[in-house]
Amino acid sequence: MEFWESAFKDKQEMWGMSPANSAILARDLFIEKEIKDILIPGIGYGRNAKIFLEAGISVTGIEISQTAIDLANKHFGNKLTIHHGSVTQMPFETKKYDGIFCYALIHLLDELERKKLIQDCFNQLSKNGYMIFTAITKEAPNFGQGKQLGKDRFEFHKGAKIFYYDQESVKIEFEHYGLYEITEVDENQPMYSIMCKKK
């Protein structure tokens, strides 16, 4: 993950402070379902946390980049709790959450890491809780470019290893975790919003 630490150092708030489209969709769902306490694996510097906080939702994050955590602390102070470490080291605590929002992270992991992240998030989800993952799709313009690492997984830039999802691979990876909706969402490239409910 050195690639991402250096990216944060070089560009600081490289995506600005406006929330991702899928974060807006997740916030609206969480408000509708009266979710009050969420976990954001890969919270970064908090640009997607802001709208949840503004909606009165308590936010805990996990982030590998200390630079990103420092930026989040600068923006939000003690309004956020952030565990410093990789999502591959989850869980960091035994707490259960009503909601989990994981933006543009899962596709950066290999197959075993993806399975572990989904399972770990599901384990930390309260009964009747919702978890939402945003993942890049095969419709992305850079799909198939760079060094192929495995089926649908490519290293487009050095250090950035990406798995590209289609509907079938979403169903395979999430079908046992309450998958109920896959929505296409535009985040400057085509992505899926993958919604699951723990029953």
Q: What is the mean pLDDT of residues 46-55?
A: 95
> pLDDT tens for residues 97-126?
999 999 999 999 999 999 999 999 999 999
Q: What is the model's pTM?
A: 0.90
Which band of pLDDT confidence, cut at 50, 70 and 90, is reported for residue 8? very low
> pLDDT tens for residues 11-44?
455 556 789 999 999 999 999 999 999 999 999 9
What is the rounded distance in angstroms from the CA atom of residue 158 to the CA atom of residue 12?
20
Which residues, 6+ apart, have CB-to-CB distance to 107 below 8 Å?
Answer: 135, 136, 162, 163, 164, 165
